[in-house]
A and B are shown apart, each in its own frame.
Chain A
Amino acid sequence: MAGGYAWLLAAPAAFLALFFAWPLVRVVWRGFTDPVLGLGNYARVFGDGPYLRVMLNTIETAATVTALCLLVAYPVAYVMAKTRGRWLQIMAALVLIPLWTSVVIRSYAWMVVFQRRGVLNDLLLATGLVDAPVSFLPGALGVHVGMVHIMLPFMVLPLLSSMRAIDGTLLRAAEVLGASPTKVFWRVFLPLSLPGLNAGVALVFMTSLGFFVTPALLGGPQHMMAAVLIEQQANTYLNWGMASALSSTLLVVTLAIYVVYLRVSGGAADAALVR
């Protein structure tokens, strides 16, 4: 840290050390020591039983949510990037307004939609598509839809910023040089939107790994995710050692996936997040 301003970092550094690094060390430590010193907790995490299944389900859910978000967000961002003026403002508002409502409320809203006597079942019954209410909750569908809904802005925004930075002359140049609109998209537009795509994917995937409220409300025991399991271990069973081991595992998995992703995307995700 060159220059005489390093001391400015002292207060934030102390804060982080006290309230972030130290608890983290305690958590990792506890995973190995509570109730007795050893790898007992980790043997249970990776052994037979529900724990590994929940971990894998967490990764799978996060991956699915990320893929769905990308699928929905890319066309939305594409249209927004081509729009100017009032319509852009309206679309930006539609993307951003859900962020003003808490995740808890939005998850409850999806419960209202998916429950036995909910909006969706009423609709299905009224149109005669089903004879009896379908049981959506608890289940994977609710978790996926709820999480995609919540994570969508975090995919749209980096994509949009990347797409709006693309110079329109490049697209015209490609077309004059002989590229049909489809080829312009695949060979020029898509590659130039990759920084935003990578940033969005990293953001959504890693946030999804730690999701709590939505899977807790909509997922149930059959579709449990890591954060719900950890909370249960700590608060219901008071098994702090197990909660710590699960937390540490989730942390390592997240970091590992992030590092691999950085390699694959050539640092583009990082660059776009920093920019």
Chain B
Amino acid sequence: MSSAARGAPLAIEGLAKQYGDVVALAPTDLTIERGEFFALIGPSGSGKSTLLGAIAGFVPPSGGRILIDGDDVVAVPPYRRNIGMVFQNYALFPHMSVFENIAFPLRLRKASEAEIRARVERMLAMVRLPGMGGRRSNQLSGGQQQRVALARAAIYDAGLLLMDEPLGALDKNLREEMQDEIKQFHRQIGATVLYVTHDQEEAARLSDRMAILNHGRLVQVGRSRDLYEAPRNAFVASFLGEANLFAVRHMTSTGGGLAVDTREGIPLAALRGPAGAINGAAVMACVRPEAIELARPGASGLDNRVEGVVDDVVHAAGTVRYRVRVGDGFAITVRRPSRLQAEDPGVGERVALSWRADDTLLILKE
């Protein structure tokens, strides 16, 4: 089976949804390639489910177009869109066996009994539930139920699979196990996947590309690495990982760089100004915690240097997080790999922080 041909490309043009005065989704453009695994992330209430619901067909959009494989489906009812969907609470039919749940879309499509049997059995094997067809869904664990939901969404070869926080109800270990399974499942079936999650790590693990939503607006689209290394604004910077943010007052060009004056009173050195900045737009400086080096006071450091007092030290699974107070009420977070027997600075000690100029990211405030 040439799986790449199976996925359907998805294009969204000016898609918007309003509930009265509430803008659940501002006019949005987005293109997802054939067979791509695309993640949609954002905080709760940012419009992820609204966008997914509009594509699935049960949220009538206030405007815009949805093109699946080139065809505008806005006027097509959900049951004729031929989209697969997986829900957070699994949405398995409690009055049907596992087999009947998976067979449900095939029965609606009037497949023959023999074909249904063969395909459901094959699908059960694929989601590692062979021989479980006779069970009731409430006899399965959460992870097993979600695999049944996956099987049911994929069995009719839909070109586009929508998943709305499918692992949200599972505990952390199981979630990571299921992430690997979903990834592998995607490789096997080759469908285009639009995957909603509020967990940026999950999005990074699974997806080829992702989009970040905030207040019903697409803030940035790209690979996980691009978004982390070149966040468009302060929201993206702090939503993806941790960020030390400084409010920029004033920037002046120096030979081969920028001298930045900040409201926090800490002068910074940067290499490049913010991408896509318009005159007068508020700018912020972002420094990632792992870009910062820790040293004894007075030691020579990198382009950016600031001294402070350690406020808090947390050891967690391979990394040490320091909170260093520099000046009045402003603290910088530093993350270093945890090393055995190393002499870490303790709480109350004075330390010097330093980082390279190209680790000072200048970004838009909004």
Q: A175-B78, A191-B95 are in contact. Are A167 and B89 (CB under 8 A)?
A: yes
What 9 A-B pairs come out closest when comparing CB atoms? A173-B91, A178-B108, A177-B105, A176-B85, A175-B78, A169-B91, A191-B95, A175-B79, A178-B79
Whole-angstrom distance between the alpha carbons of A57 and B137 in the complex?
45
Whole-angstrom distance between the alpha carbons of A172 and B58 in the complex?
7
Determine chain A's interface SS by DSSP, over half rule: helix
A residues 158-189 near B (Cβ < 8 Å) are: 167, 169-170, 172-181, 183, 187-188
Closest residue to A183 on the B side, CB-wise? B108
Which residues from chain A contact B89 at a C-beta distance below 8 Å? 167, 169
As a 0/1 sequence over residues 182 to 200 of chain B, the CB contacts with chain A under 8 angstroms (1 = contact) are 0000000000000000000
Q: Is B94 in the interface zone, CB < 8 Å from A?
A: yes
Whole-angstrom distance between the alpha carbons of A169 and B84 in the complex?
14
Interface centre among A176, A179, A187 (most CB of B within 10 A): A176
Q: How many residues of A contact B (CB 8 A)?
A: 19
Closest residue to B88 on the A side, CB-wise? A169
Whole-angstrom distance between the alpha carbons of A51 and B89 in the complex?
57
Closest residue to B87 on the A side, CB-wise? A169
In the complex, the answer to whether A173 meets B108 with C-beta atoms within 8 Å is no
Which residues from chain A contact B91 at a C-beta distance below 8 Å? 167, 169-170, 172-173
Interface centre among B84, B91, B94, B108 (most CB of A within 10 A): B91
Which residues from chain B contact A176 at a C-beta distance below 8 Å? 56-58, 78-79, 81, 83-85, 162
Contact of A170 among B56, B93, B153 (CB under 8 A): B93
Q: Is B82 in the interface zone, CB < 8 Å from A?
A: yes
Shortest distance from the beta carbon of A51 to any chain B beta carbon, whole Å: 43
Q: Is B109 in the interface zone, CB < 8 Å from A?
A: yes
Closest residue to A175 on the B side, CB-wise? B78
Which residues from chain B contact A177 at a C-beta distance below 8 Å? 79, 84-85, 104-105, 108, 152-153, 156
Shortest distance from the beta carbon of A40 to any chain B beta carbon, whole Å: 51
Closest residue to A178 on the B side, CB-wise? B108
Contact of A174 among B56, B77, B84, B104 (CB under 8 A): B104
Whole-angstrom distance between the alpha carbons of A187 and B58 in the complex?
19
Closest residue to A184 on the B side, CB-wise? B79
Which residues from chain B contact A174 at a C-beta distance below 8 Å? 93, 104
Q: Is A113 in the interface zone, CB < 8 Å from B?
A: no
Q: Is A192 in the interface zone, CB < 8 Å from B?
A: yes
Shortest distance from the beta carbon of B138 to any chain A beta carbon, whole Å: 13
Which residues from chain B contact A170 at a C-beta distance below 8 Å? 91, 93-94
Contact of A179 among B57, B79, B85 (CB under 8 A): B79
Which residues from chain B contact A188 at a C-beta distance below 8 Å? 93, 95
12 contacts between A and B (CB under 8 A): A167-B91, A169-B89, A170-B93, A170-B94, A173-B91, A175-B58, A176-B81, A177-B152, A178-B105, A180-B79, A192-B94, A194-B95
In the complex, the answer to whether A173 meets B87 with C-beta atoms within 8 Å is yes
Whole-angstrom distance between the alpha carbons of A25 and B32 in the complex?
77
Whole-angstrom distance between the alpha carbons of A114 and B89 in the complex?
53
Having A176-B57, A177-B85, A183-B108, one finds 9 other A-B pairs with CB under 8 Å, namely: A167-B91, A169-B91, A176-B58, A176-B78, A176-B84, A177-B84, A177-B108, A180-B79, A188-B95
Whole-angstrom distance between the alpha carbons of A180 and B79 in the complex?
6
Closest residue to A176 on the B side, CB-wise? B85
Which residues from chain B contact A194 at a C-beta distance below 8 Å? 95
Whole-angstrom distance between the alpha carbons of A179 and B91 in the complex?
15
Which residues from chain B contact A167 at a C-beta distance below 8 Å? 89, 91
Shortest distance from the beta carbon of A186 to any chain B beta carbon, whole Å: 11
Shortest distance from the beta carbon of B120 to any chain A beta carbon, whole Å: 14
Shortest distance from the beta carbon of A172 to any chain B beta carbon, whole Å: 5
Shortest distance from the beta carbon of B365 to any chain A beta carbon, whole Å: 38
As a 0/1 sequence over residues 62 to 84 of chain B, the CB contacts with chain A under 8 angstroms (1 = contact) are 00000000000000011111111
Whole-angstrom distance between the alpha carbons of A183 and B110 in the complex?
13
Shortest distance from the beta carbon of A181 to any chain B beta carbon, whole Å: 8
Closest residue to A173 on the B side, CB-wise? B91
Whole-angstrom distance between the alpha carbons of A117 and B108 in the complex?
56
Contact of B85 among A173, A181, A187, A192 (CB under 8 A): A173
Shortest distance from the beta carbon of B27 to any chain A beta carbon, whole Å: 24
Whole-angstrom distance between the alpha carbons of A71 and B22 in the complex?
41
Shortest distance from the beta carbon of A176 to any chain B beta carbon, whole Å: 4
Which residues from chain B contact A181 at a C-beta distance below 8 Å? 79
Which residues from chain B contact A173 at a C-beta distance below 8 Å? 85, 87, 91, 93
Which residues from chain A contact B105 at a C-beta distance below 8 Å? 177-178
Whole-angstrom distance between the alpha carbons of A172 and B162 in the complex?
13
Shortest distance from the beta carbon of A223 to any chain B beta carbon, whole Å: 40
Whole-angstrom distance between the alpha carbons of A175 and B82 in the complex?
10
B residues 84-114 near A (Cβ < 8 Å) are: 84-85, 87, 89, 91, 93-95, 104-105, 108-109
Whole-angstrom distance between the alpha carbons of A167 and B79 in the complex?
18
Shortest distance from the beta carbon of A151 to any chain B beta carbon, whole Å: 27
Interface centre among A170, A173, A181, A194 (most CB of B within 10 A): A173
Whole-angstrom distance between the alpha carbons of A174 and B84 in the complex?
11
